[in-house]
Amino acid sequence: MARVFVYDGREFPDPDPTLSAEEVRRMMTDFFPELANAEVREHQRGEDTLYELVRRVGTKGS
């Protein structure tokens, strides 16, 4: 059973199985700064676990 991280329609392999999904998300912010506030959604695909990284929609300014 593999973990696959999905962001913006692209799949990324698990960089380190000992890290939690949140820790991987934080690590990916080095390459994708917009993931700093992203939500992690877990899905099953066959025997693989997909972690979908979804940017949170917010309001800009007040």
Number of domains in the chain: 1
For residue 32, pLDDT over 60 is answered with yes
d(CA 8, CA 55): 9
* DSSP string for 3-61: EEEEETTEEEE-S-TTS-HHHHHHHHTTT-GGGGG-EEEEEEETTEEEEEEEPPP----
Model pTM? 0.84
d(CA 20, CA 9): 21
Q: Give strand pairing partners of 20.
A: none
Residue 8's pLDDT is 93
Q: Give strand pairing partners of 4.
A: 13, 50
Q: Would 60 be classed as within a structural domain?
A: no
Q: Would 41 be classed as within a structural domain?
A: yes
Domain boundaries, position 41: 3-54
Q: Would 61 be classed as within a structural domain?
A: no
Residue 60's pLDDT is 62
